[in-house]
Chains A and B, each alone.
Chain A
Amino acid sequence: MIKFEQVSKTYPGGFQALSHVDFHLQKGEMAFLTGHSGAGKSTLLKLISIMERPTAGRVLINDHDLSKIPRRQVPFVRRDIGMIFQDHRLLMDKTVFDNVALPLLIEGYSIQEARKRVHAALDKVGLADKVRHYPMMLSGGEQQRVGIARAVVNKPPLLLADEPTGNLDPKLSMDIIRLFEAFNQVGVAVLIATHDLGLIARMRYRTLTLREGKMIDDGLQEPSA
Chain B
Amino acid sequence: MSLLFRNRSTSKGNPQGARKVKISGFRRFVMFFVHNAQQAVGSLGELARYPFASMMTMAVLGLSLTLPATLYVVVKNTQTVGAQWQEASELTLFLQKGLNEREVETFTRRVGLDKEVASVKLIPKAEALEEFKEYSGFGEALDYLNNNPLPDVLLVTPAESMRSAAAAQSLLQRFEREREVDFGKLDVQWLNRLQSLLDLVRDSFGALAFLLCVSVVLIVGNTIRLNILSKRDEIVVMKLVGATDGYIQRPFLYTGLWYGIVGGVIAWLATFILLWWIDGAVMRITELYEGQFELAGLTGIEMLILWAVAIALGLIGSYLAVRKHVSAIEPR
Q: Which positions in A face B, CB cutoff 8 Å?
A: 27-28, 49, 51, 61-62, 64, 69, 72-73, 75-80, 83, 89-91, 102-103, 105-110, 113, 116-117, 120-121, 124, 150, 152, 155-158, 183, 186-189
Counting contact residues on chain B (CB < 8 A from A), the size range is 35 or more
A110 touches B3 (CB 8 A): no
B242 touches A103 (CB 8 A): yes
User: Is B234 in the interface zone, CB < 8 Å from A?
Assistant: yes
In the assembled complex, the CB of B119 is this many whole angstroms from the nearest CB of chain A, namely 78
Kindly identify which residue among A75, A113, A116, A188 contacts B243, using a CB–CB cutoff of 8 Å: A75
Residues of A within 8 A of B12 (CB): 27-28, 157, 187
A108 touches B2 (CB 8 A): no
User: Is B123 in the interface zone, CB < 8 Å from A?
Assistant: no
A103 touches B8 (CB 8 A): no
Residues of A within 8 A of B245 (CB): 72, 75
Task: Find the B residue at minimum CB distance from A157.
Answer: B13
Q: Give A79 to B330 CA distance when docked, in angstroms.
A: 16
Residues of B within 8 A of A189 (CB): 13
In the assembled complex, the CB of A135 is this many whole angstroms from the nearest CB of chain B, namely 12
B247 touches A106 (CB 8 A): yes
Given contacts A28-B13, A77-B3, A157-B5, 11 further A-B contacts (CB under 8 A): A64-B3, A83-B240, A89-B233, A102-B238, A103-B241, A107-B23, A120-B17, A121-B18, A155-B15, A157-B13, A189-B13
0/1 interface trace, chain B 13-49, chain A, CB 8 Å (1 if under): 1111110110100011001101100000000000000
Residues of A within 8 A of B239 (CB): 75, 78
A124 touches B17 (CB 8 A): yes
Residues of A within 8 A of B238 (CB): 102, 106
Q: Which positions in B face A, CB cutoff 8 Å?
A: 1-5, 8, 11-18, 20-21, 23, 27-28, 31-32, 34-35, 233-234, 236-245, 247, 330-332
B15 touches A61 (CB 8 A): no
A89-B237, A103-B242 given; A51·B331 CB < 8 A: yes
B13 touches A188 (CB 8 A): yes
Kindly identify which residue among A91, A186, A187 contacts B234, using a CB–CB cutoff of 8 Å: A91
A108 touches B13 (CB 8 A): no
Q: Give A78 to B233 CA distance when docked, in angstroms.
A: 17
Give 12 CB contacts A-B under 8 Å: A28-B13, A51-B330, A62-B4, A75-B243, A78-B241, A79-B2, A89-B237, A108-B28, A116-B21, A187-B11, A188-B13, A189-B13
Task: Find the A residue at minimum CB distance from B2.
Answer: A80
Q: Give A201 to B239 CA distance when docked, in angstroms.
A: 34
A62 touches B5 (CB 8 A): yes
A89 touches B236 (CB 8 A): yes
Kindly identify which residue among A69, A80, A107 contacts B5, using a CB–CB cutoff of 8 Å: A80
B5 touches A91 (CB 8 A): no
Residues of A within 8 A of B244 (CB): 72, 75, 106
Q: Give A120 to B14 CA distance when docked, in angstroms.
A: 13
Task: Find the B residue at minimum CB distance from A64.
Answer: B4
